Amino acid sequence: METQHDVVVVGGGAAGLSGALALSRARRSVLVVDAGDPRNAPAGHVHNYLAREGTPPADLLAAGRAEVTGYGGTIQAGRVTAAKRVDDDGFAVSLADGRTVRARRLLVTTGLVDELPAVPGLAELWGTDVLHCPYCHGWEVRDQPVGVLGTGPFAVHGALLWRQWSADVTLFVHTAPAPSDDELEQLAARGIPVVREPVAGVETAGGRLSGVRLTDGTVVPRTALVVAPRFTARSAVLASLGLEGVEQEMHGAVIGSAVPADPMGATAVPGVWVAGNVTTLHAQVISAAAAGLTAGAALNADLIAEDTRLAVTAARSAVAV
Ligand SMILES: Cc1cc2nc3c(=O)[nH]c(=O)nc-3n(C[C@H](O)[C@H](O)[C@H](O)COP(=O)(O)OP(=O)(O)OC[C@H]3O[C@@H](n4cnc5c(N)ncnc54)[C@H](O)[C@@H]3O)c2cc1C
């Protein structure tokens, strides 16, 4: 017999563990299935998580897992491949190792994939010297030679943003639209040189970024390079339930895809909730955790409503007999 959990949480990052903590503390039977590759794994530390500033990502998650299991939640390593509704009796969740687990409700927190620009060498330095988020890494590269790789309409915005952390910022226009005259004036006023020669690759020394190589062979010394990944929701499990990622735009430009949900995390499929980066591309660790709690509380309310309906039906049957 397969155990029927109240909730199976797919993904054990900040969002999933936070949801699982709320549900375990609500005395729900919770199973978290986690593939173990959170988005920020390449980073040395988590920043802007109040009261846990600078904690290594793995340590934060280990503490979260201990809190969940401390309240009776179960966490298993594994990868969910698909889920399907089983009549009116919840969901059957398939794992890559061939197991199937059952759940009355699902909380899917599978995160997103950062798709990097097609410049050789970026992937090897991702999360250490190739960066995207000033709130995650800005302080750590303050005052350093920072490059901003233009690949879309936000290149100038990115250069002006990172200027807050370093006075030595260079904008590599690369494949971005050419800056307008107004933008060139702004960049000049902030002391940001503009390089129009396309970028061919990066240079390293001792495994760290040392420069940005242009197609004409020139190397511009830089110790940090900012890129704008495409943020693509890891939505395969949700797709198996009929929920597809929808393209997300910022100022008219597509920045990625996410699975839509209401403010509590409820999706268009009854019984399926989402939280974290799979539905909110800009969620940081602390906001992903907050969304997990919100969804967990909403899920518990939904289960309470069902438990009450079932109890009323049972009570009426008992009276009728
Ligand atoms: C390099 C880098 C550095 C960052 N630094 C910071 C920082 O300093 N501060 C900050 O606030 N934010 C930072 N972030 C953002 C942070 O990573 C996200 O906000 C956070 O990871 C979102 O949490 P999540 O739970 O939604 O997703 P994730 O943390 O990505 O967790 C998703 C989990 O789901 C699992 N999973 C996926 N698919 C399946 C499946 N099919 N079956 C089972 N499990 C599955 C994954 O293995 C993973 O463990 C950084 C991001 C990057 C890329």
Give the domains, in start order, of the chain with CATH numbers: 3-113+230-320 (3.50.50.60), 117-226 (3.50.50.60)
Distance 21 CA to ligand 1 centre (A): 17
* Segment 228-257 mean pLDDT: 96
Is the pLDDT reported for residue 5 higher than 80? yes
Do residues 276 and 291 lie in contact, with contact meaning Cβ atoms separated by under 8 Å? yes
* Segment 206-220 mean pLDDT: 98
Do residues 195 and 225 lie in contact, with contact meaning Cβ atoms separated by under 8 Å? no
Amino acid identity at 239: A
Do residues 93 and 106 lie in contact, with contact meaning Cβ atoms separated by under 8 Å? yes
| Cβ of 79 less than 6 Å from ligand 1 | yes
Ligand 1 binding pocket mutation candidate from 17, 33, 40 (most atoms within 8 A of CB): 40
Residue-level pLDDT at 1: 47
Is the pLDDT reported for residue 176 higher than 80? yes
Q: Rounded distance, CA 288 to CA 279, Å?
A: 10
| Cβ of 285 less than 6 Å from ligand 1 | yes
Q: Nearest-5° angle of CA 19, CA 24, CA 25?
A: 100
Q: 0.85 exceeded by the pTM?
A: yes
- Which atom of ligand 1 is found nearest the CA of 45? 8
| Cβ of 265 less than 6 Å from ligand 1 | no
What does the pLDDT look like over 71-82, one tens digit per residue? 999 999 999 999
- Which atom of ligand 1 is found nearest the CA of 280? 26
What does the pLDDT look like over 126-141, one tens digit per residue? 999 999 999 999 999 9
Residue-level pLDDT at 88: 78
Q: What percent of the chain has pLDDT over 70?
A: 99
